[in-house]
A and B are shown apart, each in its own frame.
Chain A
Amino acid sequence: MTFSAMRLLRESVTGHRGWKPLWRRPGPKPRYDIVIVGGGGHGLATAHYLSRVFGKTNIAVVEKGWLGSGNVGRNTTIIRSNYLLPGNQPFYEFSMRLWEGLEQELNFNAMVSQRGIVNLFHTDAQRDAYRRRGNAMLLSGADAVLLDKEKLRRMIPFLNYDNARFPIKGGLWQPRAGTARHDGVAWGYARAADRAGVDIIENCEVTGFRRDAGKITGVETTRGFIETSKVGVAVAGSSSRVMAMAGLRLPIESHVLQAFVSEGLKPTIPGVITFGAGHFYVSQSDKGGLVFGGDIDGYNSYAQRGNLPVVEDVAEGGMAVMPMIGRARLLRMWGGIMDMSMDGSPIIDRTPVEGLYFNGGWCYGGFKATPASGYAFAHLIATDTPHAAASAYRLDRFAGGHVIDEKGVGAQPNLH
């Protein structure tokens, strides 16, 4: 089933009775060439690129819950490539380019909307730091524009420019950044992978790895043993739990991040806005709700729900940048479990166990990475060599001191 304007027209005059499920519901086969653990954005994207780009077949994605029940369906949907460090920025720009062609490639409307992101700055020193970051972005081939206060005011008039404590002096604008429909991304990748013959097996939790002489020979699951020689793990917040089953301790802590959405409003916010003096980011969904968030709660958690101090902190951040948000009613809030790494950057690498590959440590920024993460992980699994854009994301970089620490706060995950 291919989506097209013709198809939509035909369905709308025949009562929408011809739409079919987007993917099959197969049970596990006894053997696959490659098993991907985790049916979130990254796992599904990996399966898609393994078949589409690297020509692999006989692949399964095993997911413990339902497809998209993890962070891919819980995030605030911001996509951007506005990083500073050489290990990161080219990777995120690679991802941005994949986003730009994603919907044509998948034949699926993932609602990729390049409405732009503005990072506000509040001091001269912060402006200089953003200028440097903007230059790093330009060097990687991305777009960046430094806006002064007057230009910014014309674009976003409703901000609290004259806040006594944190006056807004301008912003770093990436016009190509924006948002995408998070579960649409999961569904789009799932459908494309399924159409290429990938088995997506839901309600199938991996409970152990079978090894022989240091090599992977299969995975134990709640739906029985599956034989395979290559396993790619992309389980986000569950990274430590799953990799512990292979005897590995990771440079990762799991933390809860909350997100919030207001009642639906008429279009008010043009793109994505981030506060530069606290942690607050906001955009408006196509349904009209203001989608926003801030810091992680700061303590280890697997509970998928947060506490009130952070709710208050996020609300204060919102009131400081755009006081009009105080008139909007909060509709819903929820939490997701972040795989916070020790330097705030991800890992895409082989492991000491032959045939076992790991993808994780995405912190609260892995949604924008979904296409590049899947592509680079597929490259690694298919060729046993890292993709050029992800070659800095080594598991052993911490031992050697080659950390990629955008914020420069050290091995303290709750500060990243």
Chain B
Amino acid sequence: MLIPHPLLGPRDAREFTVMGDAGMIDRPDPAAPDAADRFYEYVYLRDNPAGVHRELWFHEYGDRSWLVVTRNTLTHEIVAVELASDVSAKREKSR
């Protein structure tokens, strides 16, 4: 599997470690009244879809950047790749 890295071009999947669902970026507010429940969901529950899935990949043996890879779990086709830092910067702006 080749991962089209936004800065480095196509890279072999073995250079990466996979963290899982990109929802990990959205950490719950620890001060919220329902924080315990939200953290349970954040840490343990997953959508685990058969189809398009957004996930975090870490370029461990490369430039050590975090990527958000949008990938089809039924075909392994990669639909989009973004830098995780761009994704969270965009999110900050829209807040």
Contact = CB atoms under 8 A, between A and B. Distances in A.
B71 A299 contact: yes
Interface string B14-33: 10011111000000000000
B31 to A, nearest CB: 20
A412 B43 CA distance: 9
Contact of B55 (A254, A299, A342): A299
A307 B75 CA distance: 12
A241 interface: yes
A252 B20 CA distance: 11
B13 A309 contact: yes
B47 A249 contact: yes
B46 interface: yes
A54 interface: no
Given A251-B46, A300-B53, 16 more contacts: A240-B49, A241-B50, A244-B47, A251-B44, A253-B20, A253-B46, A253-B48, A254-B50, A298-B17, A300-B20, A300-B73, A301-B73, A302-B73, A303-B75, A309-B14, A412-B20
Interface residues on B, range: 20 to 34
B11 to A, nearest CB: 12
Interface of B: 1, 12-14, 17-21, 37, 40-41, 43-50, 53, 55, 71, 73-76
Place the interface of chain A in its size category: 20 to 34
Nearest to A248: B45
Given A302-B74, A307-B13, A309-B14, A413 B20 contact: yes
Interface of A: 240-241, 244, 249-254, 298-303, 307, 309, 342, 398-399, 411-414
B18 A298 contact: yes
B43 to A, nearest CB: 5
Central interface residue in A300, A307, A342, A412, by most chain B CB within 10 Å: A300
Contacts of B1: 307
11 contacts: A240-B46, A240-B48, A241-B50, A249-B47, A250-B46, A251-B44, A254-B50, A254-B73, A300-B71, A309-B14, A399-B40
B44 A411 contact: yes
B45 A251 contact: yes
Q: Which of A251, A302, A342 has the most CB of B within 10 A?
A: A302
B75 to A, nearest CB: 6
Contacts of A250: 45-46, 48
Nearest to B36: A399
Contact of B74 (A251, A253, A303, A342): A303
Q: Which of B18, B21, B37 has the most CB of A within 10 A?
A: B18
A252 B50 CA distance: 13
A69 B55 CA distance: 29
The 7 A-B residue pairs whose C-beta atoms are closest, nearest first, are A240-B48, A309-B14, A398-B44, A251-B44, A302-B50, A249-B45, A299-B18
Contacts of A240: 46-49
A238 B21 CA distance: 17
Contacts of B46: 240, 249-253
B70 to A, nearest CB: 12
Contacts of B44: 251, 342, 398-399, 411
Contacts of B76: 301, 303, 307
B48 A252 contact: yes
A257 B34 CA distance: 37
Contact of A414 (B12, B13, B18, B75): B18
Contacts of A249: 41, 45-47
